Amino acid sequence: MSHIAILGAGLVGRLLALLLAKSSEQNVAPKISLFEQHDININHATGRVAAAMVAPLAESVIASTNIVAMGQQSLLLWPQLLQHLQLTTQLQQSGTLVVAHRQDHNELQHFVQRLKTSASQYQKLTSAQLQALEPELQGNFNHGLWLIDEAHIDNHQLYDETANALRGSNIHIVEQCKAHLIDEQLFVNQQPVDCDWIIDCRGMGAKDNLINPATPLRGVRGEVIRVYAPDVNLQRPIRLMHPRYALYIVPKANHQYVIGATEIESSDDKKPSVRSTLELLSAAYSIHKGFAEAEIVDIQAALRPTFMDNEPHIVSHGNRIQINGLYRHGYLLAPYVLQQTLMLLSQLGEPCSPFAVSVSPLNSTLVTQL
């Protein structure tokens, strides 16, 4: 029986552990260990702080065509992944609405010009069409854009559900404990751990242990505010185009909304600043006056693990596989990246079944074998 050690129970690590455990139920039986430096339920995990949008079109204005293509695949793969893992968390797919205040209308036009997608994937909206989709935006905006297929996930539910699933599985979970790699050897609690495969999903925690140190990892800081707003009824993520910052509001369960996000080139993980908080809350209030009476649930900051090319990379060398650089695209890309990881493992000799019916070949832009 082979032993697979997964380092980091963030978004990628926790889903991968569950997938491998599931594939072990299908006749192949590796022992799986999952090492996490915090509690697997910790509130300030990057993937919990995130807005969790699956937004390949909106991201296409800043992301490569490869990321957009992988994101489009992920939109199809998310429901299959959730079903395969028997999770009740749903992909909520009602599109994204992009708006700009009257004085910033050219920002909206500029956004449309930069979309790397076919025109059939979005619809330009008049004020009346906008109101039909989101009645509570009434009167605020003359025009809008609907990115029809985009989606988002209730990431708190996903994290809670996957934590329960992990605890109920036969995965060996080691929490509150940092994993270290020294000369290809895994150490936990200063003790060497014998394993056949090391799958490093530590995000920023892998910064000093990269398989290919020529492509360093940096943190891109993001700040978000989660509010409870019973006076607000928005059905889908709203993105506001603005000359100084791009803001989004993402509806979550129980009248909670995630308002975000700043994007600051810094690995400083200090608490959110007053400036960011003022800007985010003012912009949210300019979209919907109901945010005035909202209760602030959390104001949080986290670092997006990012390579210099802003692309994700799966790199393998010997018995080590490193999955990192998901930047602002963890939710956008997770199912695709996981599917590719399972295929890579199979190709390297560790049999594991893919979770989706249709399997695309290994993506040479994403996967590197050194």
Ligand X SMILES: Cc1cc2nc3c(=O)[nH]c(=O)nc-3n(C[C@H](O)[C@H](O)[C@H](O)COP(=O)(O)OP(=O)(O)OC[C@H]3O[C@@H](n4cnc5c(N)ncnc54)[C@H](O)[C@@H]3O)c2cc1C
Applying CB under 6 A, the residues found at the interface with ligand X are 7-13, 35-38, 45-47, 49-53, 178-179, 201-203, 205, 222, 224, 260-261, 302, 304-305, 324, 326-332
User: Can you tell me which residue has the tokens 């449309």?
Assistant: 112
- Give the shortest CB-190-to-ligand X separation in angstroms: 13
99: how many CB neighbours lie within 10 A of its CB? 23
Residue 248 and residue 283: Cα distance in Å, rounded?
9
Q: Which two tokens stand for residue 255?
A: 């009248």
Nearer to ligand X, 229 or 338 (CB): 338
Contacts of 69 (CB under 8 A, 6+ apart): none
- Give the shortest CB-78-to-ligand X separation in angstroms: 11
Where residue 52 falls (left for φ over 0; alpha for ψ -120 to 50; beta otherwise) is left
What are the DSSP calls for 56-75, one per residue?
HHHHTTTS-HHHHHHHHHHH
Nearer to ligand X, 141 or 336 (CB): 336
Question: Reduced to 3 states, what is the DSSP secondary structure of residue 128?
Answer: helix
- Give the shortest CB-25-to-ligand X separation in angstroms: 23
Nearer to ligand X, 37 or 235 (CB): 37
Residue type, 271: K
Question: Reduced to 3 states, what is the DSSP secondary structure of residue 98?
Answer: strand
1: how many CB neighbours lie within 10 A of its CB? 8
- Give the shortest CB-129-to-ligand X separation in angstroms: 25
- Give the shortest CB-197-to-ligand X separation in angstroms: 16
Question: Reduced to 3 states, what is the DSSP secondary structure of residue 365?
Answer: coil
Tell me how many degrees the CA angle 280-254-228 measures, rounded to the nearest 5: 35
Torsional sign, CA 139, 145, 149, 154: negative
- Pairing between strand 256-260 and 217-228? antiparallel
Residue 158 and residue 50: Cα distance in Å, rounded?
12
- Give the shortest CB-183-to-ligand X separation in angstroms: 16
Torsional sign, CA 6, 12, 18, 23: negative
152, 71 Cβ separation under 8 angstroms: no
Nearer to ligand X, 31 or 38 (CB): 38
Nearest residue to 281 (alpha-carbon basis) of 221, 222, 220, 226: 226
Nearer to ligand X, 272 or 354 (CB): 272
Nearer to ligand X, 45 or 238 (CB): 45
- Give the shortest CB-149-to-ligand X separation in angstroms: 15
| 3-state percent helix, strand, coil for the chain, nearest multiple of 5 | 35, 30, 40
Nearer to ligand X, 140 or 226 (CB): 226
- Give the shortest CB-106-to-ligand X separation in angstroms: 25
- Give the shortest CB-170-to-ligand X separation in angstroms: 20
Nearer to ligand X, 92 or 140 (CB): 92
Nearer to ligand X, 50 or 91 (CB): 50
